[in-house]
Chain A
Amino acid sequence: MSHKILIVEDEVTLSEAYHTLLKQAKYDVTVAHDGKDALKKVEQFDPDLILLDLRMPILDGVGFLKEYDLKGKHPNVKVIVFSNYDMQEEIDEAYRLGADRYILKAWASPREILNLVKDALDPSQAERH
């Protein structure tokens, strides 16, 4: 059974690209376009991993994490925060709320993203870059 990944990203260009990539890598993928939408989708979708963008309208990444209560309610879900805004405060906040990883979208090539996802889901099986 393949892992379930929720992509939370408001930029359609990028959400589509990531969706394509992860689907190609045989993951079960769903996309949400903002925090509020994401909260709705997690109820039904119940992902193993969330690729979470920070800057989004309506409800942003940090807001989502607070609501989602990662540490409390979903301790087994992995969250990779990826953003094109590298603000130290946001990064710290995300980690505080239980995120596993932070990457800058602009630096991560498709292979690097895949590696990160694999690594997060199953550390032993990660392909070292």
Chain B
Amino acid sequence: MKGHLVALKQRISDLSRYFIVTPIAVVIIVIGLSIVIAMLIDRGLDSSRDQSIDKVMKQNELAVTSELGSYAQIVWSGVGRINSGPVDRDSWQRFMSTYNIRKNFSAISQLSMTEVVTPDSEQSVTQALGQQYSRDIAVYLRNDKTLPPNIVAYMYPETENSLNNVGFDLHNEDLRSRALQQSTQTGEIVITDKLELIRNAQNDSRVNVPAFFMYAPYYDTALPQSNPDERSTAIRGHVAAAFRAENVFKSAMSLADKRHLTIHVSMGRTGNSQLMYTQQATNPTGPKIHKSQQLNVYGQTFTINYEFDRDHIVAASQQQAPLATIVFGVFVALLTGIVTFFFLRDRYHRVMFEKERDITHAKDELLSLASHQLRTPATGVKQYMGMVLQGFAGDITNVQRDFLTKAYKSNERQLHVINDILHLAKLDLGRIVLAKSEFDLADMVRDVVEEQSQDTQAAHLSVSLKLLKKAPIRADEHVLRMVVENIVSNAIKYTDPDGKITVRLQRKDSMYELSIKDTGVGIAESDMPKLFKQFTRLTNARSHMVPGTGVGLYLAKHLAVIHGGDITVVSHVGKGSTFTVTLPILQKNL
């Protein structure tokens, strides 16, 4: 039996871990899940970001390309004008002014027409120009390459400074020359690398502003232009548009996020790329994502470098979604964990309660059965011994009577013990049977004390009785007798020789108060809670079986309680104890 109990206790402690481990596992799982989801969202966030970035970059590409495209239209239209008929200073002004570039195309700072001059035509060209500009025009800063000069003829708008540029050979500068040649040979618009605008070619004053030019060729329409060589022969000049880079890109990038995006625009082939324009983010924060984009437009390579504030690419709410998920997940996990814990614990307790109840039941059924089986032979002994003692088997000697009486009493005690075990069993099964009758409590107490007188004398204890003369009560006499017997015998058991036991029966209001005071070993403060409670069924039953009574204090208290009373104790270690039994005089109907 003990082995089984130990195994059961082990299982119970294993099970108790179940309602601690499981909730913790649940918490961990839910948090783990939410971390996984957060990671997925984060990845999704990355892809959202990427999409967003792509969108921005595509938008910019489109903006830049279409912006430059619209400028190209103007340049080509200039070419168209030239091809449709002779152009002079006035007609160029008139033509270009219709575009209202200051208003509509403010990035263009100048639209010019150039003329290619051959040794044959030089004189006439310069003379014609001189007439239009009312001053002597000559080709100046002639190039040192073998190229026929390509001189500025007309420009729009005309400024005091720009008028001085008429006659300037554009081939003089390598960057321009290269672009012009490329344009000539391809027949296409070409954008130069970064240049500085010339304010006044005469005194070589330059405007320190990043700029570039767009050149479109016009040819002698009578000549073939089907390959670079033919084109080089047929070239008659270019339409040139000057751009301040800042104005071009500012308007192109006007839709981009100004707060959290930095854009650098460079022009030129790799290794020769020059920064043209920077749009600085006004509120840059946090980590950055760098992206680079290359556009090849009109023979020029534009490199756009982006610096995105990583945390501002997508909406703030989306941005915080992963963190929010984890926080939410933790919260849910804790909540679930707590609920799980309480649920499991409750179930555990319920299961344990039921288990214990079942075990108790089984034990008590067993106790009942055993007790009843024990009663029978003991009853047999009682009958036969009783018959001899009561004269039904003839006369007996005094010695025989003496011996038989002792045997009879011993057997009676045994029957008492069995009876008390049964009571214990019944108590838990809730089946105590109270057989109430009217009797005198004082008489009963006196009787009990006298019964135990042999024990008191043997233990050299003095007993003093202070009882009411009469104490009528309506109760189960046998049950109360057990209670009193238990307390008195405890007093005897725990009091050293030459000690004193005082039994007092008083009446207080509607209750009887029976106090049994001893000068015994006393009960420690720490043992007090256990006194009436500690009860492990079989073990205690045996240890509380004092000869002659066998009722544990647990039982005694319960028996008093079901009568509507109680048992209390006051005790000091080394001094003694006083047990007080209170019982109602008039019974409530139970």
Contacts and interface: CB of A to CB of B under 8 A. Distances in A.
B382 to A, nearest CB: 7
Contacts of A91: 433
Interface string A101-128: 0000111011100000000000000000
Contacts of B433: 86, 88, 91
A96 to B, nearest CB: 16
B376 A84 contact: yes
A106 B415 contact: yes
A2 to B, nearest CB: 16
B418 interface: yes
Nearest to A20: B387
Nearest to A85: B372
A44 interface: no
B4 interface: no
Interface stretch (A9-17, A30-38, A68-76): A9-17
B383 A110 contact: yes
Interface in A31-89: 55, 84-88
B130 interface: no
A11 B372 CA distance: 12
Nearest to A25: B392
A89 B375 CA distance: 20
A17 B375 contact: no
- How big is chain B's contact interface, by range? 10 to 19
A111 B380 contact: no
A13 B387 contact: no
Interface in B30-83: none
B386 interface: yes
Contacts of A85: 372
B512 to A, nearest CB: 25
Contacts of A107: 415
A105 B415 CA distance: 11
Contact of B376 (A13, A20, A25, A110): A13
Given A13-B380, A14-B379, A21 B372 contact: no
B382 A106 contact: yes
Nearest to A91: B433
15 contacts: A13-B380, A14-B376, A17-B380, A17-B383, A24-B387, A84-B372, A85-B372, A87-B431, A88-B431, A105-B379, A106-B378, A106-B379, A106-B415, A106-B418, A109-B390
A20 B390 CA distance: 13
Nearest to A113: B383
Contacts of A20: 387, 392
A106 B382 CA distance: 8
A21 B375 contact: no
Interface in B366-384: 372, 375-380, 382-384
Nearest to B393: A24
A107 B376 CA distance: 11
A46 B232 CA distance: 155
